[in-house]
Structure formats: C-alpha cells, structure tokens
Chain A
Amino acid sequence: MVTLPLGTARRRSLPHGLVSLGRIAAFLFRAPPSAFGLVVLALLILMAAFAPLLATHDPYVQDLQSTLQPPSGAHFFGTDELGRDIYSRIVHGSRITLTIIFVVSIVVGPIGLFIGTVAGYYGGRVDTVLMRLTDIFLSFPSLILSLAFVAALGPSLNNAIIAISLTAWPPIARLARAETMTFRSADYIAAARLQGASSARIIWKSIVPMCLPSVLIRLTLNMATVILTAAGLGFLGLGAQPPLPEWGAMIATGRRYMIDSWWLVTFPGVAILLVSLAFNLLGDGLRDALDPKQINKR
C-alpha cells in the first residue's frame, strides 16, 4: 500500500501514454516472437528510408543483356525478365508497402473511431443504423469487396489503397463502439455533461482518447491482412501497375518464368511473408501485453 503514492507521483512526471508505451515495448522485447516482429518492422522502416542507399541498382532500369540471371554477387537476388535487379526492386518496394500501411491506417483509424464512438455514445437509433451499415460491410470477405471496388474505380495503386480502406474500417468501428459503451455511463462523462460540454466535445475530448490504445492495437493486428490483400490485388493485376516494384505484382510477372527461374517469385514472396508475419507476431504480443478479452472483441 505504501508504494501507491510513489507510483502515481512517478507517473505524473511523465505523460501517461509514454510510460505505458514504454512498458508495452519492454514487454514485447522480452518475448522472442514479438521481439522478432518489432525488429522486422524496424528493418522495413529503415529499408524504406534509405532505399536509394541500400539498393545496388536502379529498380527501373532494364538491362536486356542480363535477363533472368540467378542470384550472384552482382545481383543478390538475381534479375528479372527485363534484367532489372530484384534485390533493388524489393528494397524500393518496401516504400510502397509502407505507404499502403500508412495511408490505410490514417484513413481507417479516424473513420472507424468516428463511426464507432458516435454509435456507442448516442446509442438507440443512431447506433442501430450505423451498426447495420458496419454489418453490411462485414458480411463480405474483405478481398472480394476490395476487388469489386477496384474493378469499379479502375486498377491502380491508389485505388487499391482506397478499396482496402473502404473494407478495413468496420472491425475498428465495432471495437470503438464496444469501448465507448463501457465508458459512456462512467461518472466523469456524466460530470462533463453536467458542466455543459457538448456531445461533440465529450466524444472528442473524453471518449476518443480512451478508445485510442485499443484501436491502435487492432490496427496493428489488421495490418497483416491489409498487406496480404494489397499483395493479392497486385498479384491479380488490380493493384500497383508495372513497372512499380510492388511485391505482389512482382510475383505476378515472375510467375511466367517460375519453373526455370525460381528467384523471380521466391524473394518478393518471402518479403511479403516476413512483413505480414511480423505484424501478426507483434499483434499477438500486444494482445498478451494488454487485456486479451478486450482486444478479441470486434
């Protein structure tokens, strides 16, 4: 009991969020799988940041003299059918992957938060309507719905990102709503209401910050699916278009030469697998680090 005042005093000296983030990171690093996930993601970010330095070749320049070369000292992962260096293309492809992750997160997070908190806060008819809408989107497998959107919008990387975002928000909204329902009747919300705070203000100032941690975790967990969907769209020719070095699209073009030149499909595939595995391991670790029941709810 004596330690309690000490604990709160120390917590007050640092922003609350930072302390708990630090604690979560420490927890994650203690478990080998989630530590692996963190390391892979750190490498991915570094790779994207320093892509021009890390790449040994220009990812777009064709060299028809040396097509379909097996991996060697000159080309770490070999070359493709147009003589482009696969290693350099994968390195530059990490930028595309990160862009997808980043854009989808900043689109999906706010949409999901907005719909979820509004539905949860107002309840009643608003809730019913918004949750029905969410259910309709949830009643499709996300890849099929993305496919339909991309088909309508036309195949391109941007449209793929839009399509994925349009299909990825419902689980976030569900989660934010569930969280909001637990806070809605809390005394401090009532207190804010008695002081005359508007609903918008209460949602923005009191409810959104409370939902944020679990929404972030859920986003992390969903990133593996987002990456696989994006790669799948790229593979089907509906995502990033050639000559962009998107990993899924690279596999699609490499497919024709697969039997004789295994390296064309192997390395981009390993890259996708590693990144999505990293997100899954990280999400799994986060789930353990925080209350498992809470995160499992959709």
Chain B
Amino acid sequence: MEPILSVKNLGVRYGGSAEWAVRGVSFDLGRERLGIVGESGSGKSTVGRAILRLLPGAEVTADRMRFEELDLLDIPERRMLKVRGARMSMILQDPKFSLNPIERCGDQIAEAYRTHVRATKRKARAKTLEMLEAVQIREPERVYDLYPHEVSGGMGQRVMIAMMLMTDPDLVIADEPTSALDVTVRLEVLRILDGLVRERGIGLVMISHDLNLVRNFCDRVLIMYAGQVVEVLDARDLDQATHPYTQGLIAAQPRIGGDRGPLPVLQRRDSWVEGAA
C-alpha cells in the first residue's frame, strides 16, 4: 500500500545551535498507528513539528519527506496553508495552554472548519456540534459556549481532538495527547481518539514517553534516543527488543505484581549515537 507519509533521513537543527536536534530519522506511515517513544529531549516532538513545517528559524533537511502526493520539502508556504489543518493536523499536549483562552471552545472548533471549507456560520456550528458529539461530549450545545478555563482537562482535550479531526484529515500527529491529563480520564480520551482514527482510516503518529500506552494503542513503535531512531518494532514484539536502550526502557517500567526491588537505572551510551565522536 502506498504510504501516507514517507520520511527519509530527516535532520533538524535549531537556529544558532551547532547540534542536530534530530538526524537520520526515516520511516513510512500507512493507514496505521505509529508510536514514537523517547525521553524528553530525544527529539520526538521536533519530528512532529518538522512534518507540519512549523519550525520557523530551524534548518530542516531530508532526502525525502512526502505526504501523499506532496513533497513537503519544497512546496511553498501558501500551499502548505491548505494542507495544514485540512489534510494533516496535530493534537497538542495540554488543553490548558493549547486552546485560545479568550474564545469559546465551539468557535475555535468551527474556525478550523471554516478555514478550509466554505460554509455559513450556521453550517459550521452544526458541524461543530456533530463533532462534539463524536468525541462523546454529552451536552454539545452547552460546551460550545464555554471558555477553555471553564472546562476540565479531559473535556478540553476532547475539544482539541474535535478541532483537529473536524476536516477529516488523512494524517494526525498526537504530541503527548494525554500526559497533561488526570490518570483517570487518560484512557477514556485515548479510546475516543483511537476509535475515531480507526473509524475514519486516519494515519496516526503518537508521540509519547509512555511505553505502555504506545504498546497498547499503536501498531508499530519507533524508539528515539538523542535525536536518532535506535530501533523500530511491531508493538506486540516490544518484549523482543534487541537494542539495549529499548530493553532499558522496558525494564524501567514498574509492573503490578513484579518484584519490589529498585528499578534499574536507564543506561545511556554515547556509542548509540551514530557518528558521535
């Protein structure tokens, strides 16, 4: 099957920095769910933003970065505006910060729709209410008129998901979609996202530091360390990981019913980074 997204040898360097934040990252994504796992600072979020071309001032290089028929490396920003939010979008981490505090939730969702589809206000509102129902919000009419500070974290993230799926994109990048939420609502939000992604055949890139979460919700897992991919595995084969870093990550997960000895300290070796001096 033709991949939705194909990245080969992606490198990102932030302005003024000598170090590459990301380098040599390659992967293909079909209509599947790909997890990118790594510690903070491993460059996983940077990969997501590079794909959306939202890294102003950073140097982005790649041998190939294709999204469907588009070459993301050289289409002009003007055309990118028609792609971003319409055919690919991104769910950000914390609804407390990622929603505009002075606009009503519903209007923010409707804006995503009206940016790409010519529609009357009334039509956009109807679509928004529909979408709010799709993310299992019980009183869409009421929530439409709430300001972000008036909704809970779980509700805010559902608003975010509604906003980003409003235009039926082919690719969604979820950047730590649940790590800012209460543990009790995480699973619920993830199930909603998972359900919609499967139902609509969306390609999903799930960026997370939580190995267990990725294991349960993704088909494949990409493990990043210091800006590079160290291992790619099917989610169900995670226990057969060969790379010592992945093994370390797995060993560092606390387990119910496991022994109560101290968790092993995560090993980090410079030699895992290719080309490091």
Establish whether A and B are touching in the complex (CB under 8 Å). no
Residues of B participating in the A interface, judged by any CB pair closer than 8 Å: none
Interface residues of A, Cβ cutoff 8 Å to B: none
